[in-house]
Chains A and B, each alone.
Chain A
Amino acid sequence: GENVEQHPSTLSVQEGDSAVIKCTYSDSASNYFPWYKQELGKGPQLIIDIRSNVGEKKDQRIAVTLNKTAKHFSLHITETQPEDSAVYFCAAYKAAGNKLTFGGGTRVLVKP
């Protein structure tokens, strides 16, 4: 089955700096890659996603890049703010089986 590795597991940045989270996946059949933000006591919230026919997508301060050849994708947060502090999960989706496989999560702390 699909395996998604996520790094780093924790990330501490100064407010205003950028944060980058990287994920790799194993199954070349995966074709959809969402990112979720989970705040304490809440459910995962979809923040951005990318499909396999696109290399990069941006939405205000967040962007995602995808390298299908290398089977890795990354989340970039620019101009970080304290409210960006949360756990972020990457995931890979494969249509066969309709399954979303999650990475282990990255705990991001933005220090004021």
Chain B
Amino acid sequence: DAGVIQSPRHEVTEMGQEVTLRCKPISGHDYLFWYRQTMMRGLELLIYFNNNVPIDDSGMPEDRFSAKMPNASFSTLKIQPSEPRDSAVYFCASSPPGPRSDTQYFGPGTRLTVL
């Protein structure tokens, strides 16, 4: 299995620009999670989907952040407009259906730098 795939691996952009992060979950997994990791706040859950439907977006910091999952194999996290405080590593994770739905597998992350 290829594991969770994220792109790009690194993104450098200027304040005010739109940023789109992409994720492909593990095939057959029906839960998808977006996390943000910073030194100050550690790993924070932003939003998660089940069967392509957003279930909990209470961790999304503000309206500048949005996430979509148009199908079972693709999700995006968009920041518009981006700000320097959005600089962080963003991880996507997925988990399978059934009794192991609590077991999350992480992708390699996207390191975002907003200048």
Contacts and interface: CB of A to CB of B under 8 A. Distances in A.
Interface of A: 32, 34, 36, 42-46, 49, 89, 93, 95, 97-100, 102, 104-105
B98 to A, nearest CB: 13
Interface stretch (B13-21, B75-83, B106-114): B106-114
A89 B31 CA distance: 21
Interface of B: 4, 31, 42-43, 45, 48, 50, 55-56, 91, 101-109
What 9 A-B pairs have minimum CB-CB distances, sorted nearest first? A43-B106, A102-B43, A32-B102, A93-B102, A44-B106, A43-B108, A43-B109, A43-B107, A43-B91
Nearest to B109: A43
A41 to B, nearest CB: 8
B112 to A, nearest CB: 14
Contacts, number: 42
29 contacts: A32-B103, A34-B103, A34-B104, A36-B106, A43-B4, A43-B91, A43-B106, A43-B109, A44-B43, A44-B106, A46-B104, A46-B105, A46-B106, A49-B103, A89-B43, A95-B102, A98-B31, A98-B48, A98-B50, A98-B55, A98-B56, A98-B101, A99-B56, A100-B45, A100-B104, A102-B42, A102-B43, A104-B42, A105-B42
